[in-house]
Structure 1
């Protein structure tokens, strides 16, 4: 998610390439589509990823000093809510689910600290009501506030947890990265600019649009026919597909995050 250059560090190597000799810049333990709990993707969740991190420490791949001086980024949760929305679909249970998710996330970040990390950054949840798969309900005109409320409630709980943990420890070990407001500001800025420049693309509309249910962006059917269309200028899109920002989208978000990113590295 985060381009390491924004933190003025080299890009960490993927965990799948851990046998490489180039480990001095850290390891990226993330696995696409997974989350804090079990998601729609069969892969290592956050707990298993931390297991792998711990194993690297036990094997002396990283020393105590390496871990203490590192920045650990934890970005998880959106895929968990996606799974809940698509599989469980009982909004009356969302509060119970959110508490179980936040409790598990809290336990995970405390475990990372117990392994020696002294600077742990937790991403707040982006406004999921702005994802094209959701905003299509407004014909890509507005974010769906009912779903954004899920993000806001999640973030409120995480902010309180981070504050409480830092008080308990006595120093600011845990910090947050505000993806929620960064996304909203970036989207609203583009929407306002479109009022003066109609050639700009609607930030809520995906560049890669699906033509049929059951297909992903880039897929073709048995006859080789494309089941998607691409926007005219992908380089100016905000969302690449129904859920993921484009390179330009992330750039717009990170322009909003720059001040907080500089504080993280200080």
Structure 2
């Protein structure tokens, strides 16, 4: 068989082989704490040590002991970590920007910081920030000077990868507002409609390549396990009804992405089933090199080593002795970092799985997400 015929056969049997890797010059991210690289820290109170200690050896404005999935995505394309839009000191946006802020929702939350627990920077606000940034960054480039080189080139906006990881807090807002499971489910279509509307707005500003994470198994996280302890548990020890809400959210999200794909055939939309990857860490931890998946690494108290009364990096007085809430001995084998977020080791595992395309619709690897 000639080399030409062989390569033709391979491309037919495995079309992905014939695709070139995408050369994304920038990453623009919108989301919540799962992908926040400093937005919350700039606007409110930055996380303190031991946050960031594993990789950065200092607090790095992230809600983990190290890198997040979005950091690994940037690294995969040879790009520097993307800085938060709200950063004001020494910030370089030339290869992307991060609008994600911890505690952010898709819809405008009922109560916001400082009187509530959710961020005012919900997805619609993040879109507005992006809209302003696109205009202002090009004004700065045209003016020239030192700051011009810190802004992305105009063509990057149509060539960049746009990543999204948001929705968990919309579900949490419903749960912690004492809505029933049925009431939270009933809110999901509107939440997804708001998400889709923002995607369309960003598309209209020139975005063409979308990488969208679904939401994870919220019923496996200690902050939910503690708050709703009486709920039915599945074999992994996670709260079954709360995970079922997340699964319904993901179903409607996948349907909306399919609709967007039909509506905008010139764009590439990749729906990423991050839920399945995260759940595997709770269901089969030993298989993946992890242990004690439901137990918080940096926390204090109870079955899950977590209490909302004292969080990671805080202090608590027990029998007259002040105790610092620090990291477990080996975060590299732990799944949950602070009762809400994942460890760097878990984030790396998640990235390694989703970047292959095995959990994507369509099934394209991350580096070919411009061709889905």
- Give the count of matched residue pairs: 261
The residue that corresponds to 1:17 in the other structure is 87
The counterpart of 1:55, out of the listed 129, 132, 141, is 132
**How do 1:55-74 residues align onto structure 2 when only pairs under 5 Å count?**
55-59=132-136, 60=138, 62=152, 64-74=154-164
Q: Partners in 1 of 2:344 and 2:235 — Cα distance?
A: 20
Q: Could you state the TM-score of these two structures normalised by the residue count of structure 2? A: 0.63
Q: Which has the higher contact order (CA 8 A, sep 6+)?
A: 2
Conserved in 2, the CA contact under 8 Å of 1:71 and 1:120? Answer: yes
Which runs of no fewer than 5 residues in structure 1 stay unpaired?
A: 195-199
Question: Does residue 44 in structure 1 map to residue 141 in structure 2?
Answer: no
Deviations 1:106-129 (A, max 9, x none): 111111101110112211111111
The residue that corresponds to 1:151 in the other structure is 246
Q: Could you state the TM-score of these two structures normalised by the residue count of structure 1? A: 0.86
SS at match of 1:27: strand
Which of structure 1's runs of 4+ aligned residues deviate more than 3 A? 18-21, 61-64, 134-141, 186-189, 191-194, 221-224, 227-230
The counterpart of 2:256, out of the listed 161, 167, 173, is 161
Change (3 A) 1:42 1:184: closer
The residue that corresponds to 2:219 in the other structure is 129
The residue that corresponds to 1:35 in the other structure is 105
Question: Does residue 102 in structure 1 map to residue 197 in structure 2?
Answer: no
Query: Could you say what the CA RMSD is over the residues aligned between the two structures, in angstroms?
Result: 2.6
Question: Does residue 245 in structure 1 map to residue 342 in structure 2?
Answer: yes
Give the C-alpha shift of residue 228 in structure 1: 3.9
Conserved in 2, the CA contact under 8 Å of 1:128 and 1:151? Answer: yes
Change (3 A) 1:259 1:15: same
Change (3 A) 1:6 1:189: farther
Q: Partners in 1 of 2:321 and 2:131 — Cα distance?
A: 45
Question: Does residue 78 in structure 1 map to residue 173 in structure 2?
Answer: no
- Structure having the higher Rg: 2
Give the C-alpha shift of residue 233 in structure 1: 2.0
